[in-house]
């Protein structure tokens, strides 16, 4: 059985892929605190065989070498990593130190296009996707594609640093990634909007860089957008603009008018609830999973937007966007004793829904899922 964990560090997304029967694992693009990965490995009794870097990172310092030293795992990169490293002298001064540090770890395995590594009983496939860098690769495992900085949710890797080529990026996305099929779930190397994942089908419809009609149009669009790489760039908002190109479209349509006094009050109450909730009004991912497994299934209400829900939700959850709740109250359970768990991305919108429904529907057995859907996924819980 697949064990899949996502880690988020100031916009950097990292992953552990493991096999629950053989207890073997891969670590992909580790960043942040070494302890987070060691704790996950220990908790799941996993031993990493490889630490995979999807490319030579320029916006943050990798901790692959630190983890390799502690765990004994070998570092693996795309077969063009030496070519990319030779270009390190040509990078802007602002990121020269970071790139130099990321070029020092000893790579024990150079991954070829379409190469397979078995992680216990789990087959993991690698394919070369040059464009953002010469050595970029993507990772395919059981319907998931870990895209590094090749494809982001609403964006693509930037192509104005040494080793990048917008034409190659187009070929990698249109040729390699699209071959994975429209239902493939995308897990990028960066996201700054609290997204967990996407699908190729969704990106084809909504990613402005994939809406272009020709290769030349794609090249022109990518090359026309770029933000100066500033000194001290590591992670966060600066890295968001400097490491990839992301659509500036809002995640949700802007409101036609300002919030009503009641909406303001609910928002303030929700913020207070998030930080001061009675434990009886919240539920952890582990406790919710236990209730689902025991058959004592609560009514799970997911109040995220449809484009968020399509990327995966807690099994059995009913999706009604927060903004539509007042118009769809008849669809909710009528018994005020019904156990209800509210869910959103991280908990804020779900807290608002809980407070609103407790008032208008008089529910008195409501709980908010701590950490939301993102926490659920990060804990390795199943989604549908």
Q: What is the mean pLDDT of residues 143-158?
A: 92
- The better pLDDT of the pair 297, 54 is held by 54
Using a 10 angstrom Cβ sphere, with 0-12 exposed, 13-18 middle and 19 or more buried, the burial of residue 40 is buried
Using pLDDT thresholds of 50, 70 and 90, give the confidence band for residue 295: confident
- The better pLDDT of the pair 299, 99 is held by 299
Coil, strand, or helix at residue 268?
Answer: helix
Question: pLDDT tens, 38-47?
Answer: 999 999 999 9
- State how far the Cα of 155 lies from the Cα of 163, in Å rounded to an integer: 19
Q: What distance separates the 2 farthest-apart alpha carbons in the chain?
A: 67
Using pLDDT thresholds of 50, 70 and 90, give the confidence band for residue 359: confident
Using pLDDT thresholds of 50, 70 and 90, give the confidence band for residue 152: very high
pLDDT at 89 > cutoff 50: yes
Q: Evaluate whether 2-246 and 261-378 have a shared fold.
A: no
- State how far the Cα of 295 lies from the Cα of 168, in Å rounded to an integer: 51
Task: Say what the pLDDT of residue 270 is.
Answer: 44
Q: What is the mean pLDDT of residues 294-304?
A: 91
pTM: 0.65
Q: What is the mean pLDDT of residues 86-102?
A: 86
Question: Which of 28-32, 200-204, 206-210, 367-371 reaches the highest mean pLDDT?
Answer: 28-32
CATH topology of domain 261-378: Oxidized Rhodanese; domain 1 (3.40.250)
* Domains of the chain, residue spans: 2-246, 261-378
Using pLDDT thresholds of 50, 70 and 90, give the confidence band for residue 19: very high
Task: Say what the pLDDT of residue 229 is.
Answer: 60
Please give the CATH number for the structural domain made up of 2-246: 3.60.15.10
Q: What is the mean pLDDT of residues 275-294?
A: 79
Task: Say what the pLDDT of residue 245 is.
Answer: 53
Strands of the chain, DSSP E = 2-9, 12-19, 24-28, 47-53, 74-78, 109-111, 115-119, 122-128, 137-141, 144-148, 151-152, 155-157, 185-188, 198-199, 244-246, 282-283, 299-302, 318-319, 340-343, 366-369
The answer to whether 53 and 84 have CB atoms below 8 angstroms apart is: no
User: What is the SS3 string spanning 139-151?
Assistant: EEECCEEEEECCE
Q: What is the mean pLDDT of the chain?
A: 84
Strands of 303-365, DSSP E = 318-319, 340-343
Question: pLDDT tens, 162-185?
Answer: 899 999 999 999 999 999 888 788
Question: pLDDT tens, 228-266?
Answer: 665 433 322 223 333 445 443 333 323 333 333 344 444
Q: What is the mean pLDDT of residues 110-115?
A: 96
Task: Say what the pLDDT of residue 278 is.
Answer: 52
Using pLDDT thresholds of 50, 70 and 90, give the confidence band for residue 358: confident
């Amino acid at each position: 059985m697949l064990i899949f964990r996502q880690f988020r560090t100031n916009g950097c997304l990292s992953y552990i892929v493991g096999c629950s029967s053989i207890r073997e694992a891969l670590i992909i693009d580790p960043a942040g605190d070494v302890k987070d990965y060691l704790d996950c490995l220990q908790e799941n009794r996993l031993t990493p065989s490889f630490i995979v870097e999807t490319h030579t990172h320029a916006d943050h310092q990798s901790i692959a070498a630190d983890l390799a030293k502690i765990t004994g795992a070998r570092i693996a990169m795309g077969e063009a990593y030496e070519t990319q490293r030779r270009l390190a002298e040509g990078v802007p001064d602002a990121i020269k130190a970071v790139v130099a540090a990321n070029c020092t770890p000893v790579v024990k395995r150079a991954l070829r296009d379409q190469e397979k590594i078995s992680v216990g009983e789990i087959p993991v496939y690698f394919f070369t996707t040059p464009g953002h860098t010469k050595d970029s690769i993507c990772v395919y495992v059981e319907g998931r594609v870990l895209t590094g900085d090749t494809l982001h949710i609403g964006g693509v890797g930037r192509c104005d640093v040494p080793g990048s080529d917008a034409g190659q990026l187009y070929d990698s996305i249109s040729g390699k990634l699209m071959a994975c099929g429209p239902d493939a779930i995308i897990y990028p190397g960066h996201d700054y909007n609290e997204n967990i994942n996407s699908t190729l089908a969704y990106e084809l419809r909504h990613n402005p860089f994939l809406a272009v009609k020709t290769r030349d149009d794609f090249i022109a669009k990518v090359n026309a957008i770029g933000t100066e790489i500033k000194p001290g760039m590591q992670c966060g908002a600066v890295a968001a603009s400097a490491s990839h190109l992301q659509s500036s479209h809002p995640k949700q349509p802007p409101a036609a008018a300002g919030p009503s006094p009641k909406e303001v009050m609910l928002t303030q109450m929700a913020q207070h609830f998030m930080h001061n909730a009675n434990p009886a009004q919240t539920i952890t991912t582990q406790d919710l999973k236990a209730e689902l497994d025991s058959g004592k299934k609560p009514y799970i209400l997911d109040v995220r937007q449809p484009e968020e829900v399509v990327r995966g939700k807690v099994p059995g959850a009913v999706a009604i966007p927060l903004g539509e709740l007042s118009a769809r109250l008849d669809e909710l359970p009528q018994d005020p004793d019904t156990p209800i768990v509210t869910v959103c991305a991280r908990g804020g919108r779900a807290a608002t829904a809980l407070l609103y429904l407790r008032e208008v529907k008089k529910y008195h057995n409501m709980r908010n899922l701590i950490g939301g859907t993102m926490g659920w996924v990060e804990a390795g819980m199943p989604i549908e």
